[in-house]
Chain A
Amino acid sequence: MARRVITLIIVLVLAYGGVAAIVATHTTPELGLDLKGGTSVILRAPEGTDPDVLEKAVEIMRARIEAFGVQEPEISISGKNGVLVQLPGVTDRERALEAIGQTGVLSFRPVKASFLRSPLLQPLTTTTTAPGETTASTEPTTTTTFPENVDPTTGYTIKDDPALLDAWLPEYDAEGKLIAGYEVGTLLDPETGKPDPLTGKDLTEALANFGADGKWQVNLRFNDDGARKFQEITKAAAQYPAGDPRRQIAIVLDGKVISSPQVAETVDPNLGIAGGNAVITIGAGDTQQSEAQDLAVVLRYGSLPIAFERDKVQSVSATLGADSLRFGLVAGLGGLILVAIYMILYYRSLGVVTIVGLSVFGSLMLIVLGLLSKTSGLTLTLAGVTAIVVSVGITADSYIVFYERIKEELHRGRTMRAAVDEGFTRAFHTILTADTVSFLAAGLLWLLAVGPVKGFALTLGIATFLDILVAYFFTRNAVSIISHGPLGEGGFFSIRAAAGGVQEAS
């Protein structure tokens, strides 16, 4: 008996104390987009896109989205070729969509010059001096002008286009540190003189492998058009002596130079590299291996034939989100009150146990969701709120199964104590069986679903699990304690009365 009381106290302290702690430390569950407003996008890559390429795409989307100041975008790969992007509080929906919906722009460009820091950041004094005599000398930097489309703080081209005749592009290392800047041009069509860039569309294959010379390399294959352009570009580069930056070819993805291989000395300046096949030699060693593989992925990603398709775009305004949350809570609370009234009318003192039990259940739910939200980025969505409302029904069922069992055992003539113990053993068996079915449903939903449905399944699964815990550690002990006290046998409010009569309580 003492053990039961102690267990009960522990459960209550854990549940209510836990909630207090959660609220005090602001660990309450993070709200999902549909409850606080924002934009969510489900994108689909073409069937059979390789997973590395998908990851690269996600990485690039994240960079683009962060570039225009979205706090904590959530981007995750779901399924084989789906990407779920969640942008809390995003109002400039169009721009966000533009940034995430496209494949990276890949191009091969002739290098005009290389530099460590953008030369555009140097004061361009020449543009302001000549006419003024003394006035210009003191503040030439303030009048510095930048070419159009150049970021004044970094000096690099903001929006890259492979057809630009002149662009300043940075190259970063793996940690995101700037290692070099390049001024690049574009390939011109020899007949028309118009830009005719060599882009990802012209690339058909990029594979990393270990070459016969014992070095890691990336093999490229171009289509016919690409082969011709590649020959042009290498022919031009081969004019310059080895070591000259202009002998390099910049491989640009999304406005950043990914790699800048130099055309080999063996290449004939009159021929270039013909035939549509090329090899970029990286070197031997482990870092070179990953470098080669990364480069191959980047090239494949940039040469994806079709951009991502938008499967579903959903924007929820902040007010609608808040409304939904309020409605969900109102509905949930309303339902809870109705259940509480019913349980008390029907089960008397046991109904009170149910209500306390439901509050313990609710507290534990909040604690688990809060912790998961903190540790694994779970967010509470409308579907999750609904799942909680629904789980009130499931949880109430466990009480009913138990109480009906007690009644049955009492009718068989057992003593109150025996009826409670035996009733629990048997009811728990049933609860386990039935909860297994619910758990199965939740688990499958979780595995198969996308986005919000996943949230529903997860919440339902947690609820089912907590239901079992609460039944075992709380309900059983609470009912047992009551059955030993005055509420067991006599009076309108007792368990005996709930079982259908006091007359035979002998």
Chain B
Amino acid sequence: MNLVTRLYRGETSFDFVGAKRIWLAISSALILISLVAIAIFGLNLSLDFKGGVAVEVTNVAGVDVAAVRDAVTPLGLGDAKIQMLAGGADIRVQVGTLSPAESRAFQEAVAKVSGSSLDQVSIDEVGPTFGAQITRRAVTALVVFLAAVVLFMWWRLEWKMAVSGITALFHDLIITFGVYALTRFEVTPATVIGVLTILGYSLYDTVVVFDKVKENIEELHTDRMTLSELVNRSMNQVLMRSINTSLTSLLPVGSLLFVGSFLLGAHTLRDFALALFVGIAAGTYSSIGVASPILATWKEHEEEWERVRRRKERGRADGSRRGAKKAAVESSAASKTPQAAPKTPQAAPKRKSGAAPRPPKKGKKGRRR
């Protein structure tokens, strides 16, 4: 059966947890790049965070950047940030904080040079302290959200899952801001909303994987499978879901980003969509490459799982026929042929009841040695 078919059928057996060094390397590199980018370039904070005046107007007169600059220079605003949007059809000019009178003169100058009347001008005027306020609110929202989510995941799943999920979340946050630092896209309040939304997404994805892990632990809890194997299996089972979900989320968001960025120059949409786009992609990756390996590695050291693992390792080291046979059955079960599949559900309860007395026996033996 080829890879595509197996993917389609959810019967892949990628060793996600085993590849944790690779994930670690990728994630570390991404985080490092992000942090360096943020440190060097900083974030391109929008008007809302810094305070200032921005006007946006249709370029009726068809003027260029130089003409606009000439128009605002007499007002002492020669260093204004002038952008042409939608291929020069719209003009956006941004300056620092102004007094009401200066602001009025500025708006009139831009309106005049672009050939529009004043009431066709879109104006954004932000006081200098507004940014601090919304930043504070965003941070409050973030902290409360994280606390609530940790508690929820703890209650619904378990605390190690909560911590692993949150770690993945920070990973996504850093990478998202890293992309903003690198691309010089503006960080607006819309971006902040986008980021807060990502947090939901990222966790959502992780919750689905962990939910499966939890279910598998309850259903397949035997001495035959180490936790890493179990996590791997869970991830393989939900792999197509993760890919599909990310695709169906990225398609509309990508559409927003594309429309916003290239076609129509609606920057509000764009600022927002980039955060979502990067965040969703990072969120999907981190639930596979960060949250799950952390959980697997961490939980593997719990006493009962440690026991299973030692026994399996021992079995392999002994090379005993029984062990080898078992391993063979195991691996074929992971990529079961359909004919063999029906046996699994029937086998499960049997195995469960049969397995119960077994582990302590073997465990004791193991300890004696």
**Interface residues, chain A, with chain B CB atoms under 8 Å away:** 34, 42, 44, 91-94, 97, 309-317, 319-320, 323-324, 327-328, 330-332, 334-336, 338-339, 342-343, 346, 382-383, 386, 389-390, 392-394, 396-397, 400-401, 404, 407-408, 411-414, 426, 429-430, 433-434, 436-438, 440-442, 444-445, 448-450, 452-453, 456, 460, 499-501, 503-504
Contacts and interface: CB of A to CB of B under 8 A. Distances in A.
Interface string B225-246: 0000000000001101100110
B256 A311 contact: no
Contact of A448 (B48, B137, B260, B344): B137
Interface size class of B (residues with CB under 8 A): 35 or more
A90 to B, nearest CB: 9
Contacts of B8: 500
A323 B255 contact: no
Contacts of A452: 189
B101 to A, nearest CB: 10
A444 B148 contact: yes
B10 A338 contact: no
Closest 10 CB pairs of A and B: A335-B252, A413-B342, A393-B249, A335-B255, A500-B9, A441-B200, A396-B248, A91-B119, A331-B259, A313-B125
A450 B140 CA distance: 13
B154 interface: no
Given A335-B251, A393-B249, A397-B245, A445 B193 contact: yes
Contacts, number: 234
A433 B156 contact: yes
Interface string B200-227: 1001100110011001000000000000
Contacts of B124: 312-315
B271 to A, nearest CB: 11
Contacts of B212: 430
B237 A408 contact: yes
B199 A441 contact: yes
A396 B249 contact: yes
B44 interface: no
B123 interface: yes
Contacts of A434: 204, 207-208
Contacts of A404: 10, 238, 240-241, 244
Nearest to A347: B244
Contacts of A34: 268
Given A317-B119, A441-B145, A390 B207 contact: no
A330 B266 CA distance: 12
A311 B144 CA distance: 25
Contact of B137 (A414, A442, A449): A449
Contact of A324 (B5, B123, B127, B268): B268
A503 B338 contact: yes
B125 A314 contact: yes
Interface string B43-66: 000001000000011100000000
Contacts of A414: 345
B254 A335 contact: yes
B120 interface: yes
B14 interface: no
A444 B145 contact: yes
Given A331-B255, A335-B255, A393-B253, A346 B244 contact: yes
Given A335-B256, A408-B10, A93 B211 contact: no
B183 to A, nearest CB: 19
Given A311-B127, A500-B5, A383 B193 contact: yes
Given A339-B252, A396-B248, A334 B125 contact: no
Contacts of A448: 137, 140-141, 144
Given A407-B10, A437-B149, A332 B104 contact: no
Given A328-B269, A383-B190, A437 B125 contact: no
A42 B51 CA distance: 13
Contacts of A383: 190, 193
Interface string B4-46: 0100111100000000000000000000000000000000000
A426 B129 CA distance: 49
Given A393-B249, A404-B10, 5 more contacts: A309-B127, A330-B264, A390-B253, A440-B149, A440-B152
